[in-house]
Chain A
Amino acid sequence: MLVLTRRANQSIMIGADIVVTVLEVRGDQVRIGIDAPRSVSVHREEVFRELEASNRAAASPSFGALEGLTALRPPKHDSGGGPLP
C-alpha cells in the first residue's frame, strides 16, 4: 500500500481525474472529500462489502428453495402494489 502524509486541505490525485482531499482532522475522525467522474462509484468500504456479501448469499438460490417461495404471499397492506410487470 502506498502511504502518503497529508494535512487538512491537501489532496491526493489518483489518475488524472480523481482528487481526494483531506478536509478536516478532528480527534480520531478524518473528513475526506472526493472528486471523481460520474462513472466511478464511491462507497464507504464496509457498506460496499456488506452488499457484496449479501449479493453472494442471495445469488442463484436452488430450485428447491424457489418452489417453496412461490407460495409465499406478502401480508395484506392497504398500500400494497400489484404484482411485478
Chain B
Amino acid sequence: MTGASASELPELHFASGLPGFPDARRFVLVRLGDELSPFSVLRSLDGEADLEFVVTHPGLFFPDYAPEIDDDTAERLELRSADDALLLVIVTVTNPVDASTANLLGPIVVNRHTRAAAQAVLGASGYNTREALVPSP
C-alpha cells in the first residue's frame, strides 16, 4: 500500500493499547497514498497480525472539531501545552468510500516529542464514533 519501510519510522507507544485491542501498544504511522493524501495508516508492530487503522488529521475534515482532552490523558502523555499534542482520528472505511466515517468521540492523542500516545475518551462531549467524512448531499 505504501513504499515506506515501517522500520525507519518513529514508533508511537500506546501504554494501554486501544479499546478492543489492549495488547497493541507499538505502532508506526505510514502515509497512505501520495503526499497530498489526507490519510495515514497506523500500523501495529505487536501481536495481532496485520492490525492497522486508517487515520486522518481531524482539522482537514472537521475544522470546528475542538475536543477537550481530559487532564488524566494529558498528564499520562506529559502534555504541557496544546502544541505538544498531535491529534488524529480513526476512520472506518466503507465501500463505497463516500460513506466512510471518523471517530470523533475517541481521538488519538500523540505527544509530538515523546511519541507517547493514547486514545482519549471524550465523555459527555456530544461527539460520536461515526461522523461522516463527506457530508451527505
Task: Give A residues with C-beta under 8 Å from B.
Answer: 38-39, 41, 43-44, 47-48, 50-61, 63-66, 68-75, 77-81, 83-85
- Could you show 28 A-B contacts with beta carbons less than 8 Å apart? A38-B76, A39-B16, A43-B121, A44-B123, A47-B123, A51-B103, A51-B121, A53-B20, A54-B105, A55-B106, A57-B92, A58-B54, A58-B93, A59-B21, A59-B53, A60-B52, A61-B92, A65-B93, A65-B97, A69-B100, A70-B39, A73-B36, A73-B38, A75-B61, A79-B63, A81-B59, A83-B31, A84-B31
Task: Give B residues with C-beta under 8 Å from A.
Answer: 1, 15-16, 18-21, 29, 31-41, 50-57, 59-61, 63, 72, 75-76, 86, 88, 90-98, 100, 103, 105-106, 119, 121, 123, 129-130, 133-135
> Is there an interface contact between B100 and A55, defined as CB atoms closer than 8 Å?
no
The secondary-structure label for the interface of chain B is loop
A73 to B38, CA, bound (A): 7
> Is there an interface contact between B63 and A77, defined as CB atoms closer than 8 Å?
yes
A57 to B35, CA, bound (A): 27
> Is there an interface contact between A65 and B94, defined as CB atoms closer than 8 Å?
yes
> Is there an interface contact between A48 and B93, defined as CB atoms closer than 8 Å?
no
Q: How far is the CB of A51 from chain B (nearest CB, A)?
A: 4
A72 to B88, CA, bound (A): 17
A36 to B135, CA, bound (A): 41
Q: With A56-B20, A70-B34, A84-B39 given, can you name 4 additional A-B contacts, CB distance below 8 Å?
A: A47-B123, A51-B121, A72-B133, A74-B38
> Is there an interface contact between A80 and B59, defined as CB atoms closer than 8 Å?
yes
> Is there an interface contact between A84 and B40, defined as CB atoms closer than 8 Å?
yes
